[in-house]
Structure 1
């Protein structure tokens, strides 16, 4: 049983929260420190942080997500919502997880950032990373999911494979209207 976030991270399970501003990012810190924070063991030696390693780690992951920022020294609070989300995703990917849970990964971000996040999530899945995406956006579910689990009032009410998933079925299951999928 996993009892703490540290235990989950050690087992390769990470969570990208919906509210990146207050739960996912540390405002007041620069981009590179936000990315390296959960990976300090990899960016330090004998208890001393190695700035070059922190920057390398941040550069590797933020460039894969097409981060738009003046520099990695920039305070994360000065970034757009989409770019903050990219930094939060980069931070957790830098831990080399086996499973990543992304909660509303494109909520409140512009269309270009949405496309970048979707493309990167698809690339990660193709590379074998297990991804659990929580989304209230039907088009996002339809475009990204291999399987959709519909929950209502904290309970699983339906499950659809990619081939049987339709917007109508998802909405009906979520609303509690008959004709739901496998439960």
Structure 2
């Protein structure tokens, strides 16, 4: 229902929840979009490859070929496959849970740049992150959750690491 309404979720654990690592890249990318790549119940391999190629190029996926198993890719490229998979559904909202966890600095920068590009195109991007520099650098608005509830809300202006940590730890702002 969420996908049908344009809401997609990129999980934190891409290997267990985000991708089927034994399957090739192109099948992972097109899996949630089979309605676009099949006719009368038959998959169109050319359309699957075309769809996968479009999003793989857009995300600068580094792979030998689109029929390469996802499990053979680096962590950053596996993350790009999972993001491509959900972008291929043409969502309105994308929720990225720890999008740069366990990937190298270059891939991190590429994911951040792509997130900014998506937001500039009008896609709503919700990032869940435990990395303070990532939160400060990527967010227009920050919601701090503590014990399942909203503990604080901040705009980008005036947000500091100290304010973020205090809110996460449950300390109230002092009246100065």
Hey, what does 1:42 align to over in structure 2? Answer: 36
Cα offset, 1:28, TM superposition = 1.1
> Residues of 1 paired with 2:159 and 2:65: CA distance?
42
Q: How does 1:88-167 map to 2 (within 5 A)?
A: 88-167=82-161
> Residues of 1 paired with 2:73 and 2:83: CA distance?
14
> Residues of 1 paired with 2:109 and 2:34: CA distance?
30
> Residues of 2 paired with 1:179 and 1:53: CA distance?
55
Cα offset, 1:87, TM superposition = 0.2
Hey, what does 1:74 align to over in structure 2? Answer: 68
Cα offset, 1:51, TM superposition = 0.7
SS of 1:164's equivalent in the other structure is coil
> What TM-score does the superposition give when structure 1 sets the normalisation length?
0.93
Q: List, as ranges, runs of 4+ consecutive aligned residues in structure 1 with deviation greater than 4 Å.
A: none
Hey, what does 2:59 align to over in structure 1? Answer: 65
Cα offset, 1:177, TM superposition = 2.0
> Residues of 2 paired with 1:132 and 1:27: CA distance?
25
Cα offset, 1:166, TM superposition = 1.1
Cα offset, 1:178, TM superposition = 2.3
- Structure 2, unmatched stretches of 5+, are none
Hey, what does 1:3 align to over in structure 2? Answer: none
Whether 1:16 aligns to 2:16 is: no
> Residues of 1 paired with 2:35 and 2:143: CA distance?
36
Q: Which moved more, 1:46-55 or 1:32-41?
A: 46-55
Whether 1:54 aligns to 2:48 is: yes
Q: Deviations over 1:134-156 (max 9, x none)?
A: 00001111111000000111111
Q: Which one of 68, 79, 87 corresponds to residue 85 of structure 1?
A: 79
Whether 1:27 aligns to 2:21 is: yes
RMSD, aligned CA: 0.9
SS of 1:177's equivalent in the other structure is coil
SS of 2:102's equivalent in the other structure is coil
